[in-house]
Amino acid sequence: MNKPDKEEQILNLLKAAREDYISGEALSKKFGVTRASIWKNIHALMKQGYGIERRPNTGYKLISSPDKVLPAEIREGLETEYIGRELYCFNEAGSTNEIAMKLAEGAVTEGTVVIAEKQTAGKGRLGRKWLSPAGAGLWFSIILKPKISPQHSAKLTFVAGLAVLDAIRTVSGLQAGLKWPNDLLVNGKKVCGILTEIKSGPDIINYQVLGIGINVNISEKEFPEALRATATSLAQEAKKEVARLRLLKEILKNIETGYEVFKKEGFKQFLIRWKEHSVTLNRKVKVAGLLESWEGLALDIDEDCALIVRLDSGEKKRVLSGDVS
Amino acid sequence: MNKPDKEEQILNLLKAAREDYISGEALSKKFGVTRASIWKNIHALMKQGYGIERRPNTGYKLISSPDKVLPAEIREGLETEYIGRELYCFNEAGSTNEIAMKLAEGAVTEGTVVIAEKQTAGKGRLGRKWLSPAGAGLWFSIILKPKISPQHSAKLTFVAGLAVLDAIRTVSGLQAGLKWPNDLLVNGKKVCGILTEIKSGPDIINYQVLGIGINVNISEKEFPEALRATATSLAQEAKKEVARLRLLKEILKNIETGYEVFKKEGFKQFLIRWKEHSVTLNRKVKVAGLLESWEGLALDIDEDCALIVRLDSGEKKRVLSGDVS
pLDDT at B2: 57
pLDDT at B1: 47
Identify the three-state secondary structure at position A143. strand
Contact A154 B202 (CB under 8 A): yes
| Phi and psi based region of residue B322 (left: phi greater than 0; alpha: psi -120 to 50; beta: remaining) | left
Mention every residue, 6+ apart, whose C-beta is less than 8 A from residue A288: A322, A323, A325
A120 assigned to some structural domain: yes
ipTM over 0.95? The verdict is: no
Taking only Cα atoms into account, the Rg of chain A, rounded to an integer number of angstroms, comes to: 22
Residue A321 vs residue A275, higher pLDDT: A275
Alpha helices in chain B (DSSP H): 6-17, 24-31, 35-48, 71-75, 96-104, 153-172, 234-238, 244-265, 268-276
Q: Where are the beta strands (DSSP E) in chain A?
A: 51-55, 59-64, 87-90, 113-116, 137-144, 177-179, 183-186, 189-200, 205-215, 284-288, 293-301, 307-311, 316-319, 323-324
Chain B residues near residue A149 by CB distance under 8 angstroms: 290, 320-321
B59 and B202 co-located in one domain:
no
Residue A83 C-alpha from the chain's centroid: 11
B20 and B54 co-located in one domain:
yes
A166 assigned to some structural domain: yes
Contact B154 A204 (CB under 8 A): no
Distance CA B34, CA B50 (A): 22
Query: If we measure between CA atoms, which residue out of A124, A121, A110 comes closest to residue A323?
Result: A124
The enclosing domain of B36 has a CATH number of 1.10.10.10
Contact B195 A201 (CB under 8 A): yes
CA distance A205 to chain B (A): 9
For an interface test with A, the pick among B128, B302, B320 (most A C-beta atoms closer than 10 Å) comes out as B320
A216 and A269 co-located in one domain:
yes
B1 assigned to some structural domain: no
Neighbours of B237 (CB within 10 A): 21
Chain B residues near residue A151 by CB distance under 8 angstroms: 150-151, 304, 320-321
The enclosing domain of A163 has a CATH number of 3.30.930.10
Mention every residue, 6+ apart, whose C-beta is less than 8 A from residue B243: B171
Contact B75, B81 (CB under 8 A): no
- φ/ψ of A22, rounded to 5, equals -115, 130
Identify the three-state secondary structure at position B208. strand
Residues of chain B with pLDDT under 70: 1-3
Torsion of CA A300, B199, B144, B249, to 10 degrees: -120
Contact A290 B154 (CB under 8 A): no
Which member of A151, A200, A290 has the closest CB to residue B320? A151
Chain B residues near residue A291 by CB distance under 8 angstroms: 147
A79 and A103 co-located in one domain:
yes
Query: Mean pLDDT for chain A?
Result: 93
Which member of B125, B148, B204 has the closest CB to residue A202? B125
pLDDT at A2: 57
Percent of chain B with pLDDT over 90: 79
pLDDT at A3: 64
Contact A308, A302 (CB under 8 A): yes
Number of domains in chain A: 3
pLDDT digits (tens, 9 = 90+) for A4-62: 789 999 999 999 998 899 999 999 999 999 999 999 999 999 998 999 999 988 999 99
Q: What's the half-sphere exposure (Cβ side, CA atoms, 13 Å) at B2?
A: 14
A44 assigned to some structural domain: yes
Query: If we measure between CA atoms, which residue out of A138, A116, A118 comes closest to residue A255?
Result: A138
For an interface test with A, the pick among B151, B156, B194 (most A C-beta atoms closer than 10 Å) comes out as B151
Distance CA B198, CA B150 (A): 8
Boundary residue ending a domain (A16, A34, A64) = A64
CA-based nearest residue in chain B for residue A154: B202
Chain B residues near residue A320 by CB distance under 8 angstroms: 149, 151-152
Contact B321 A126 (CB under 8 A): no
Which member of B149, B154, B291 has the closest CB to residue A202? B154
Distance CA B283, CA A128 (A): 47
Neighbours of B25 (CB within 10 A): 11
For A25-42, the DSSP string reads HHHHHHHTS-HHHHHHHH
CA distance B196 to chain A (A): 6
CA distance A146 to chain B (A): 12
Identify the three-state secondary structure at position B24. helix
Residue ranges making up the domain that contains A60? 6-64
Chain A residues near residue B124 by CB distance under 8 angstroms: none
Query: If we measure between CA atoms, which residue out of B278, B289, B286, B306 comes closest to residue B297?
Result: B286
Boundary residue ending a domain (B37, B64, B91) = B64
CA-based nearest residue in chain A for residue B289: A203
A239 and A102 co-located in one domain:
yes
B222 and B117 co-located in one domain:
yes
Distance CA B302, CA B144 (A): 24
Alpha-carbon separation of residue A16 from A146, B32, B38 (angstroms): 37, 76, 74
B292 and B252 co-located in one domain:
no
Query: If we measure between CA atoms, which residue out of A77, A208, A84, A223 comes closest to residue A140?
Result: A84
At residue A204 the predicted structure's pLDDT band, cuts being 50, 70 and 90, is very high
Distance CA A240, CA A248 (A): 17
Contact B151 A125 (CB under 8 A): no
- φ/ψ of B121, rounded to 5, equals -140, 50
Which member of B153, B195, B291 has the closest CB to residue A150? B153
pLDDT at B130: 87
**Which whole number is the average pLDDT over A280-301?**
90
B271 assigned to some structural domain: yes
B318 assigned to some structural domain: yes
DSSP B71: H
- Residue A171, strand partner residues: none
- φ/ψ of B243, rounded to 5, equals -70, 105
A92 and A195 co-located in one domain:
yes
**Which whole number is the average pLDDT over A207-219?**
96
pLDDT at A231: 94
B57 and B155 co-located in one domain:
no
Contact B323, B287 (CB under 8 A): yes
Boundary residue ending a domain (B48, B64, B80) = B64
Residues of B with CB under 8 A from a CB of A: 101, 125-126, 147-154, 157, 181-182, 195-204, 290-291, 304, 320-322
Contact A321 B157 (CB under 8 A): no
The amino acid at A39: W
pLDDT digits (tens, 9 = 90+) for A220-260: 999 988 888 999 999 999 999 999 999 999 999 999 999 99
DSSP A292: -
Distance CA B107, CA B62 (A): 35
Identify the three-state secondary structure at position A260. helix
Query: Mean pLDDT for chain B?
Result: 93
For an interface test with B, the pick among A198, A204, A210 (most B C-beta atoms closer than 10 Å) comes out as A198
CA distance A181 to chain B (A): 9
pLDDT at B3: 64
A164 and A217 co-located in one domain:
yes
Contact B321 A203 (CB under 8 A): yes
Which member of A151, A157, A204 has the closest CB to residue B202? A157
* Count helices and strands in chain B by DSSP H and E runs: 9, 14
Chain B residues near residue A304 by CB distance under 8 angstroms: 151
CA distance between the termini of chain B: 41
Chain A residues near residue B147 by CB distance under 8 angstroms: 290-291
Neighbours of B28 (CB within 10 A): 16
pTM for the model:
0.85
Distance CA B93, CA B238 (A): 28
B172 assigned to some structural domain: yes
The enclosing domain of B313 has a CATH number of 2.30.30.100
CA-based nearest residue in chain A for residue B193: A202
B16 and B60 co-located in one domain:
yes
Mention every residue, 6+ apart, whose C-beta is less than 8 A from residue A179: A185, A190, A278, A279, A280, A324
State the angle between helix axes of B244-265 and B268-276 in degrees (0 to 180), rounded to the nearest 10.
Answer: 130
Distance CA A153, CA A151 (A): 6
- Residue A53, strand partner residues: A61
**Burial of B72: CB neighbours in 10 Å, binned 0-12, 13-18, 19+:** buried
A184 and A268 co-located in one domain:
yes
B94 assigned to some structural domain: yes
